[in-house]
Chains A and B, each alone.
Chain A
Amino acid sequence: MSTVSATAGLTAARRRVRDWLGDRLLFGLTLLASLATVALMLGIIYKILAGAHSAFNKFGIAFLWERVWDAPKNIFGALPGLYGTAVTSLIALVIAVPLAIAIALFLSELAPQGVRAVVGTLVEMLAAIPSVVLGLWGILVLGPFARDHIEPWLHSTLGFIPLFDGTPGSSGIFIAGLVLAIMVVPIIASICRELFVSVPQDLEEAAFALGATRWEMVRGVVLSSSRPGIAAAVILGLGRAIGEAIAVTQVIGAGWIIHSSLFSTGDTLASRIAGQFVGAQSDLQTASLFYLAAILLVIGLVTNLVAQIIVRRFEYQRAGAE
């Protein structure tokens, strides 16, 4: 009897030690991993800023509005890249936002259950296509098609606007915008769909009970109550479009120029980094490319933060309404 309780006491004590150790160990291990993750993110920010240091010292903030990028003369400026980034992303959003919202509405309000699952999966597959494959398709299929059909049509109908004046080409800002639109649509659509699905059912039913048609219900209830969420989705899509390097590099045709025509070739911040980083001729050029990366990083961080703040506030609001 006494031996049994003695061993039981012993194993209990042992177990306590083991549990104490196990708890500490698991806690320490997971804490370590979390710290590593945070350190990695901070390291990325630090390394990009540090790499840009010498270019920042040389050009200062004026780098942002300098138009020249001349490697032999060691003069570098970001303006044409900022312009290209802004214009391509804008084209992408103008095309993608209405399309994505319409798709999300179809998936959340209109489609029968079975169709929903299939179409939803297909739209998400569009997001899964690797950007280099989309870029390959963009330069060899979409580019020539746009040059022969879309751009001449835009030119003949809207050519009086400088944006659509110019010679159609198989690569350029316009085609980059199209490819980006394809990449952005599934992102915005999937976020909006979640938003629309989470609209309280009783609000929707109340609108129907008041005699609203489906569209009136969507406009009055679904869209108006999800507006901040849609804004966040658009900002996240914008962040994606601004940061995309590979597909844009493939289709934009390279050129550090600011041209009023959308059919002209150009460059974005990301595509210039992708195109010149490996072949940089001087340390200052590498540092200037780091500077471009730093601009891109800041834009990326800001868009992400803004989107998250909107989402937080919005979730709080919606939780409060229920």
Chain B
Amino acid sequence: MAAVDPVLNLRGGQKVRRRRLVNRVAEAVALLAALAAIAVLVVVVWSVAKRGAAELSWGFLTKDLPLFGQPGGGIAPLIVGSAILVGIATAIALPLGVLTALFLSEFAPRRVAPAIQLALDLMNGLPSVIIGVFVFGLLVNQHKMSGYAGGFALSIVMLPLVARSTQEVLRLVPLAQREGAMALGASRWRTVLGIVLPSSLGGILTGTVLALARAAGETAPLLFTTAIFANSLSTNIGNALPNIPVQIFIWSESADPEDHKRAWASALVLMLFVLVTSLIARLALVRTQRKFNR
């Protein structure tokens, strides 16, 4: 027993122990990094929740914005305005994105597809402040800030996201389904509208919801397009619409602690909306992928 076989030493020597130690340390570092990321998420969410919840009330959600320097008030105009802006953005980006993705996956010749794909990818990587400057130059410069300018700016954020997620779902539709439809004598458009789109509808919707959640939190595209607004409820998209992100930005830059409280509460509302919708959409997305992979 005591005599160790000199050739087959399974216990390992100094070197093996060092290698194991290095391995342990590396694993611990990876674990710690993951924990750190989660810790940051928890700290941010907790900070916003704690400070925001103290200020949040039914009145805060339903009243008009406070007049300058006065206490109280609420964010009803911001919620309505943000909803309208995101609505406009979705109305533009959804059809445009889905149709572009359809063209890319069903019709585009090999030479043309890369150019369109490139435009989408570049648009996706565009700093959002550039979008704000662009829409300012296009729609605001000679006129005035407006809801439709803001909505259009947000649609540029959404468009590549919608197109990308639609492309991904379309890619999941089995080729056999398309071929089956063709073999039965169905024409191209019937195949697309009757087979391809319906089976990818769920994926397209969740992709759109994800894009919508992203757009709802964007500030930079709105900063030059719909940022100077009245403090009461407004639904006229010809005028600048109050919206949550820009108002949080304004309040966060203010020196008044009351404004900071309002900023926290609005941030809580915005964050809850964005996190909950994107979480639900993500779960739905996983389910669609599983459905196709079966």
Contact = CB atoms under 8 A, between A and B. Distances in A.
Interface of A: 19, 22-23, 25-27, 29-34, 36-38, 40-44, 47-48, 50-51, 98-100, 102-103, 105-107, 109-111, 119, 121-126, 128-137, 139-141, 182, 185-186, 189, 213-216, 218, 236, 239, 242-246, 249-250, 270, 273-274, 277-278, 289-290, 293, 296-297, 300-301, 303-305, 308
Given A41-B122, A99-B36, A33 B99 contact: yes
B287 interface: no
A287 B132 CA distance: 15
Contact of A278 (B193, B227, B271, B274): B227
A213 B163 CA distance: 42
Given A19-B190, A130-B271, A215-B22, A119 B38 contact: yes
Majority SS of interface residues in chain B? helix
Given A22-B190, A102-B33, A40 B219 contact: no
Interface string B199-236: 00000000000000110111110011001100000000
22 contacts: A34-B116, A38-B116, A41-B119, A43-B134, A48-B130, A102-B30, A103-B33, A126-B37, A128-B274, A129-B44, A132-B219, A132-B245, A132-B248, A133-B248, A133-B271, A137-B48, A182-B40, A245-B127, A246-B245, A273-B129, A277-B136, A297-B126
A131 B190 contact: no
Q: Which 5 pairs across A and B sit closest by C-beta, in order of nearness?
A: A243-B127, A130-B217, A33-B99, A102-B33, A30-B103
Contacts of A111: 34
Given A47-B134, A214-B23, A135 B31 contact: no
A215 B125 contact: no
A41 B47 CA distance: 38
A110 B31 contact: yes
Contacts of A99: 33, 36-37
B125 A303 contact: yes
Given A34-B108, A37-B100, A134-B44, A215 B271 contact: no
Given A121-B282, A130-B271, A246-B220, A103 B130 contact: no
A37 B159 contact: yes
Given A43-B138, A99-B33, A290 B41 contact: no
Contact of A243 (B45, B130, B216): B130
Interface in B88-115: 95-96, 99-100, 102-104, 106-108, 115
B133 interface: yes
A128 B214 contact: yes
- Residue from the set A34, A245, A289, A303 with the largest chain B CB neighbour count within 10 Å: A34
A290 to B, nearest CB: 7
Given A30-B99, A33-B100, A136 B37 contact: no
Contact of A30 (B27, B100, B282): B100
Contacts of A216: 19, 23
Contacts of B169: none
Nearest to B277: A128
Nearest to B224: A277
Contacts of B189: 19, 22-23, 25-26
B223 A125 contact: no
Given A38-B119, A129-B45, 17 more contacts: A19-B187, A27-B107, A41-B119, A48-B130, A110-B30, A125-B275, A125-B278, A129-B217, A131-B220, A132-B249, A133-B248, A239-B125, A246-B129, A250-B253, A274-B223, A289-B133, A300-B127
Majority SS of interface residues in chain A? helix
Interface in B44-67: 44-45, 47-48
A98 B260 CA distance: 34
Contacts of B100: 30, 33-34, 36-37
Contacts of B79: none
B17 to A, nearest CB: 11
B131 interface: yes
Nearest to A101: B33
Contacts of B219: 130-132, 246
Contact of B103 (A33, A42, A123, A305): A33
Nearest to B32: A102
A243 B45 CA distance: 24
Contacts of A189: 37
A116 B125 CA distance: 27
Contacts of B96: 33, 36-37
Nearest to A239: B125
Given A121-B279, A121-B282, A122-B38, A277 B133 contact: yes
Nearest to A273: B129
Interface in B134-192: 134, 136-138, 156, 159, 163, 187-190, 192
B123 A23 contact: no
B46 to A, nearest CB: 10
Nearest to B228: A278
Contacts of B223: 245-246, 274, 277-278
Contacts of B33: 98-100, 102-103, 106
A103 B123 contact: no
A22 B187 contact: yes
Contacts of A103: 30, 33-34, 37
A304 B131 CA distance: 16
Given A274-B129, A308-B121, A126 B267 contact: no
A136 B130 CA distance: 22
B163 A185 contact: no
B252 A140 contact: yes
B127 A130 contact: no
B37 to A, nearest CB: 5
